[in-house]
């Protein structure tokens, strides 16, 4: 999607957007248009019972008296409440309405818009962000898509928005980074597997990201028995991917680390999942996808921070060599794990990845992201990701970043009572506890591998990485959850 700022009028024959606040109070541009159309705008909003609610849309097709192909009147809601997030919703709504409409260009006129919660340039830039994110599509394998379903909208011109172009310069890298994550998550498992995931990420080296990859032999030498145990049933060999961005020119001596679960397909292993819906398990690498996308965002905008991204990449399959329930594995940390359920594999991948990155980089902060448990979806649905942390300060920072970006988080407890639920009679721990508190005991498991003094947060994003229906800024499918969250966290904590 091409975004253009600084235009003064719309292109003849293209679509035009104007605004109205609550109670259908027209903006200056909307009033001028209504006068030119002989009151047609006012008549349309009355007929449609349009009240100017946020992101509400009324459409006039080929109205006489203007050279616009169609006019959209879009609501901004109650005065003083339309913030950046609301304008992302508005942008997403415009894109969804026009994307396959036959229109190729739309002009959004901010003339006379007032009483917003943010200034006009910021509102316009976030509208462009929401529209760009919502316009993302994955039609790569659709060879017989009907013409009427193909995207046509390629350009959004924004008029009368002041210095919005400067605001957009900060946001534009997020569009590419989120798209990168969505593509990784959406690709089928015969296309994205541990080795090909790594190859997709090698392009980040062109942006200045240092890439390092551990193969199966190197991980065995390091003692990663938990991660390798998950992978041993697959013909696809595992990989550990390290991506390092240093925008401080070597000044930062410690690293903030992001760790992503990258199970490129999860059958459940010997504890096999039901057949219905198993095709969705191609997105069980959503945590790794988010980490890769966040690293791309940081590199694209030349973030003045030092950040390391780690992706533990495996495929969990049930062949004759697969890990069995009851097996005991030795992790890189030396702790032993009794594998009760081979479908609780993500924590086995994360624990070795976390141990490796602590030995290699001695970080102060670790944030891991994983599509880890179905229990978190039972708790939170698809509105929030679960947050678990040993640091109130870190948890607050992440929640704040989540509110700012729309990647929302809800904090859950940790504690010794939950920790006892994963004690094993024959090893140091079990990889699952009882059904009660399943997301919490999973976090407790990971926490056993975090070194003393390290601030750590675990984000269970199982309900957020993929959506069965379209949202305000995404089509149904991969959402790209976590990219904006991590990017904003870096901006707020390391670049402030």
Q: Catalytic amino acids?
A: 273, 347
Pairwise CA distance, residues 186 & 455, whole Å:
32
The number of beta carbons lying within 10 Å of the beta carbon of residue 65 is: 12
Pairwise CA distance, residues 68 & 429, whole Å:
67
Max CA distance (Å), the chain:
82
Whose tokens are 């199982």? That residue is 462
Q: Helix 164-186 vs helix 483-493: angle between axes, to the nearest 10 degrees?
A: 130
Q: How far apart are the first and last CA of the chain?
A: 30
Mapping DSSP onto H, E and C, the string for 470-488 reads: CCCCCCCEECCCCHHHHHH
Count of CA atoms in the C-beta half-sphere (13 A) of 262: 32
Task: Give the list of residues 6+ apart from residue 42 with CB closer than 8 angstroms, or none.
Answer: 24, 26, 34
Which is nearest to 380 in space by CA: 344, 412, 414, 345?
Answer: 412
Sign of the four-CA dihedral 113, 119, 123, 124: positive
Q: Tell me the β-bridge partners of 73.
A: 18, 58
Strands (E), 318-384: 328-330, 336-338, 365-370
Pairwise CA distance, residues 178 & 233, whole Å:
32
Question: Phi, psi at residue 222, to the nearest 5°?
Answer: -80, -15
Q: Helix 392-405 vs helix 483-493: angle between axes, to the nearest 10 degrees?
A: 120
Question: What is the pairing mode between strands 239-246 and 306-316?
Answer: antiparallel
Strands (E), 81-145: 105-109
Which is nearest to 75 in space by CA: 19, 117, 37?
Answer: 19
């Amino acid at each position: 999607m091409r975004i253009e700022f600084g235009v003064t009028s719309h292109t003849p024959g293209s679509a035009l957007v104007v605004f109205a606040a609550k109670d259908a109070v027209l903006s200056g541009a909307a009033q001028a248009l209504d006068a030119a159309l002989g009151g047609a705008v006012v008549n349309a909003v009355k007929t449609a019972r349009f009240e100017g609610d946020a992101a509400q849309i009324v459409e006039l097709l080929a109205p006489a008296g203007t050279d616009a192909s169609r006019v959209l009147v879009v609501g901004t809601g109650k005065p003083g409440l339309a913030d950046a997030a609301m304008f992302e919703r508005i942008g997403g709504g415009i894109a969804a309405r026009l994307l396959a409409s036959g229109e190729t260009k739309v002009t959004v006129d901010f003339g006379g818009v007032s009483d917003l919660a943010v200034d006009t340039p910021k509102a316009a830039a976030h509208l462009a962000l929401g529209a760009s994110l919502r316009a993302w599509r994955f039609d790569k394998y659709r060879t017989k898509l009907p013409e009427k379903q193909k995207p046509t909208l390629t350009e959004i011109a924004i008029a009368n928005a002041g210095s919005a172009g400067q605001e957009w310069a900060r946001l534009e890298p997020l569009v590419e980074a989120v798209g990168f994550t969505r593509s990784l998550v959406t690709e089928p498992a015969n296309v994205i597997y541990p080795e090909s995931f790594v190859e997709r990420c090698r392009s980040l080296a062109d942006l200045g990201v240092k890439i390092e990859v551990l193969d199966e032999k190197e991980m065995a030498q390091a003692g990663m028995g938990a991660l390798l145990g998950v992978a041993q049933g697959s013909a696809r060999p595992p990989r550990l991917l390290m991506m390092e961005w240093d925008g401080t020119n070597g000044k930062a001596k410690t690293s903030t680390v992001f760790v992503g679960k990258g199970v490129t397909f999860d059958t459940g292993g010997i504890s096999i999942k039901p057949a219905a819906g198993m095709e969705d398990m191609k997105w069980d690498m959503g945590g790794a996808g988010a980490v890769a996308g966040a690293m791309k965002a940081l590199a694209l905008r030349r973030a003045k921070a030092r950040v390391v991204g780690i992706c533990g990449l495996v495929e969990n399959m049930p062949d004759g060599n697969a890990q069995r329930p009851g097996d005991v594995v030795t992790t890189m940390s030396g702790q032993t794990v009794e594998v009760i359920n081979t479908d609780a594999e993500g924590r086995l991948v994360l624990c070795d990845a976390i141990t490796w990155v602590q030995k290699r980089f001695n970080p102060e902060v670790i944030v891991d992201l994983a599509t880890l448990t179905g229990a978190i979806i039972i708790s939170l649905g698809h509105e929030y990701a679960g947050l678990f942390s040993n640091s109130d300060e870190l948890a607050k920072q992440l929640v704040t970043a989540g509110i700012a970006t729309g990647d929302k988080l809800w904090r859950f407890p940790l504690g010794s009572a939950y920790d006892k639920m994963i004690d094993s009679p024959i090893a140091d721990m079990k990889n699952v506890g009882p059904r009660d508190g399943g997301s919490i005991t999973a976090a407790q498991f990971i926490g056993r591998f975090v070194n003393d003094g390290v601030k750590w947060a675990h984000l269970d994003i199982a309900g957020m990485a993929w959506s069965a229906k379209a949202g305000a800024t995404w089509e149904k499918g991969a959402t790209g959850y976590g990219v904006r969250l991590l990017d904003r966290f870096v901006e707020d904590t390391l670049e402030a």
